[in-house]
Amino acid sequence: MSTYPEKVTLEEGLGLLLPWGNPVGTECVPVDETDGRVLARDIISKENIPPFRRSPYDGYALRAADTADASRETPVQLTVTEEVPAGSTATRAIGEGEAVKILTGAPVPEGADAIVKFEDTSFTEDTVTVFAPSKEGSNIVPVGEDVKEGELVVEKGRLISPALVGLLAGLGYENVKVHRKITAALLSTGDELIAIGENLSPGKIRNSSIYAIHAYLEQWNVNTRVLGIEKDNAQRIADRMLEGLADSDMLITTGGVSVGDYDMVKEALTRIGADILFWKVRMKPGMAFIAAVYQGKPILALSGNPSAAAVSLFMLGRPLIRRMSGMKDYQTKELKVKMADAFPKKSPSRRMIPGTLEILNGEAWIVFAKKQGNGMLNPMRDCEILGEIEAGSPPLRKGSIIKAYRFFDR
């Protein structure tokens, strides 16, 4: 008989589970497929962006020194030697008393050290008149303003955002080394479950949770292998577990993790020879939960109750998945929020209450989901954050400050 801790705190559970979430291997993918993927190498720029001194406006490039005495009363007139649109370069450096007509995005000619916008000048075909002194460097975008050559642009382990996709393209990366997507096998257990296409008969319910879990995993860039529904039978569940684990990085099951006669998942885990890391977490919803490992692959056995399954998946599964996906910042981010509603009961247990984050007068508030309860999916519908009611809390008034966990960060 192997032994394992029971009724661990969330933090103890994470401490036991997360070390099993080893980052998966890497692959090279085209840059336009990298949004939401995790970078697998440091990106050190071999180039400057922009690669040349650039004009941010349509105007005239000139020598600031030539304009030192310019004013409304004593304007300075310069000779325009040529025009430089974006994509071209000046044919020669400018000299004293000279200016070049320059357009947005064009390189600043040699000799010039300031740009004056069109609207601040008066001009003819070959002269420009300025009415105020220019400061050296004014309106010139320096080389490497966005990215400097040799700079560490982004470290490995970062989730790639749309702007980072653009930056990588700007740096010339046609292909990018990222972590491959992890694959999770999904198994629903329960004698009462039917597939959505089947007709309801007495005592049966549709398998809804797994669709929600599937959709969360898609959002987290996880590939899934849906194993379907299995009856509350330890050997059959064990067989399906092995089938799922054979070609996946992890397994997620629902149902059968409490103490009832039909709760067969723990027995199935024992039969396949998985190591159980812990059973039950001291939070509500989400008390019923088993974490296990089989040949180095994590197994999350979630409650059949839809909200409980979602809360366990958010609090324990998501950081594990982020770590396996190669992310350095895999931990759930916390914030302090004010409660927009009271929590009118004493709470002997630690509770996670789904809600939305609202910003009012610069303060963060949590608006609790209208419906609460383990057995429902509705409470999770608009969940952006989980507000924490600490174990042993008295009734809490509206406006009380509590800790919350956020799930919409990148």
Q: Which residues sit at the interface with Mg ion, rule CB under 5 A?
A: 190, 255-256
Site string for ligand AMP, 267-296 (x = CB under 6 A): ---------------------x--------
Stretch that binds ligand AMP, among 28-36, 73-81, 152-160, 249-257 (CB under 6 A): 249-257
306 binds ligand AMP (CB under 6 A): yes
At its nearest, how many Å lie between ligand AMP and the CB of residue 301?
9
Instruction: Tokens 């800790």: give the residue.
Output: 403
Specify burial of residue 200 (Cβ count, 10 A radius: 0-12, 13-18, 19+): exposed
User: Which 174-203 residues touch ligand AMP, going by CB under 6 A?
Assistant: 188, 190, 192-193
Among ligand AMP, Mg ion, none, the one that 305 touches (CB under a kind-dependent 5 to 8 A) is ligand AMP
Among ligand AMP, Mg ion, none, the one that 254 touches (CB under a kind-dependent 5 to 8 A) is ligand AMP
The span from the CA of 331 to the CA of 329, in Å, is 6
At its nearest, how many Å lie between ligand AMP and the CB of residue 206?
7
307 binds ligand AMP (CB under 6 A): no
At its nearest, how many Å lie between ligand AMP and the CB of residue 193?
5
What burial letters (b/e) apply to 56-71, b meaning 16+ CB within 10 Å?
ebbbbbbbbebbeebe
Given 253, 303, 312, 325, the residue binding ligand AMP (CB under 6 A): 303
Among Mg ion, ligand AMP, none, the one that 13 touches (CB under a kind-dependent 5 to 8 A) is none
121 binds ligand AMP (CB under 6 A): no
Q: Which two tokens stand for residue 7?
A: 């009724």
For 319, other C-beta atoms within 10 Å of its C-beta total: 19
The span from the CA of 312 to the CA of 320, in Å, is 11
Nearer to Mg ion, 209 or 224 (CB): 209
At its nearest, how many Å lie between Mg ion and the CB of residue 200?
17
At its nearest, how many Å lie between Mg ion and the CB of residue 317?
19
Return residues touching ligand AMP (CB under 6 A): 188, 190, 192-193, 205, 207-210, 254-258, 288, 303-306, 375
